[in-house]
Structure 1
């Protein structure tokens, strides 16, 4: 009698763990290289932004400005890398601070998250202070390129071997490049930098009416300039090309 242990209930072949991992690695590579599909995803994002899609989500009841695909990537990245410290510039309404802390807890890590913003709003600080998952989140009101921020990050990550830095504040070329120059070199070898909204370079020119960033002046142009000047950093394509609908496309870096 034939062995049907590798067949599903409807007869499909079910690969073992190793074979399935190899299949997924191949699928991820082809997905990341599919320029036509990526353009379709960008077109979808542009259309969805007419409804302020990225502002519609919550994490544990607190608004989080993150695309769902990217939340899944963050979960995989945290589980794989297991960061001891997470620093994020751009606190907004606080949801991403809770997301970072929650993912650390999920990984059986003591939450240690530092959020930096030039202005912290009472509704944000109150939400984080009163939330049951808010423990381990510290906030600093400062320009993320300032010496105050640099010194705070140095103290916060001192002694940590695995650090994630998320840059999600002012999205102009000069500001993001300033953040990269000021904060990225503080990371240990292997540290990861996640630069948000690199997608601005792929959006139609003039899409962000009223904002100081646009095509040619955005996080992606800053990332490119930073990489040209710093050969101790490289793109982590296994993460930066991991999602289809994403704001981190080609914007996840690793310190060598």
Structure 2
């Protein structure tokens, strides 16, 4: 066994050990709950733009992008734009690595890789900040509800001709809205790629922590994920590629992170 394979096996054993430790998992749940009380996830930026993500989830974010190497990322929910900038910067890094491997000169604006962000309300100061960012040339923003038919149709039209598509859902966190987003955008996910449903951990929080929100325990991204997956065996769903559309929850990512806002939210197309 090579040293790299030996280390990969070592890491896998670490992950399995963590997954099987209820005490560790319990502590992680406590940590997530308390970090929400302190608005911890709001404290970070990505290349200068606020990202509003638990840092451990951003590790998963970049690992998935590097592993799958998408040419199109679709995100619902923009806020300050940090997530869009992160996606764009990772896509730019893929362009750079492709150029290095091919021995070619890189024109940053020539690549087709891009990220599409959708939000019902792109506030003027956030739009200005995103448009002023050096990564903006890889970002396309659409203002409107992510489940509005016109918006869905526009995104599907953009996705035509892209072979490697990844989805991140992070807008309205109610059950009905997220379930509608899954039905609208999951078919665009390419084989082996991911649809990540952020903030599915709302289901695991005390009910009073979401008292000022339209979502909460029993009505949130995780309940939508479970409802969507429960119907996939009988719905005979097809992806945009015409192939069978089936997803599974990647629990290995959760066990690796231990601290995540998105338990049961990492959906891999199989």
TM, length-normalised to structure 1: 0.89
Cα shift readout 1:143-196 (whole Å, capped 9, x = no counterpart): 111112211221222122211110000111111011101111232322310000
Query: Higher mean Cα deviation, 108-117 or 95-104?
Result: 108-117
1:251 aligns with 2:253: no
Q: Greater Rg, structure 1 or structure 2?
A: 1
Call closer, same or farther: CA 1:149–1:223 in 2, change over 3 Å: same
Equivalent pairs, count: 242
In structure 2, runs of 5+ residues without a counterpart are 97-110, 234-245
Aligned partner of 2:31 in structure 1 is 44
1:83 aligns with 2:70: yes
Q: For the residues of structure 1 that align with 2:252 and 2:90, how far apart are their CA atoms?
A: 19
Aligned partner of 2:176 in structure 1 is 174
User: Is the helix fraction higher in 1 or 2?
Assistant: 2
Tell me if structure 1 keeps the 8 A contact 2:28–2:259: yes
> 1:106: how far off?
1.7
Aligned partner of 1:3 in structure 2 is none
In structure 1, runs of 5+ residues without a counterpart are 1-14
Tell me if structure 2 keeps the 8 A contact 1:162–1:190: no
Query: Higher mean Cα deviation, 24-33 or 48-57?
Result: 24-33
Call closer, same or farther: CA 1:145–1:35 in 2, change over 3 Å: farther
Aligned partner of 1:145 in structure 2 is 147
Aligned partner of 1:108 in structure 2 is 95
Tell me if structure 1 keeps the 8 A contact 2:33–2:205: yes
Aligned partner of 2:103 in structure 1 is none
Q: For the residues of structure 2 that align with 1:32 and 1:176, how far apart are their CA atoms?
A: 27
Aligned partner of 2:6 in structure 1 is 19
1:29 aligns with 2:12: no
Query: Higher mean Cα deviation, 166-175 or 108-117?
Result: 108-117
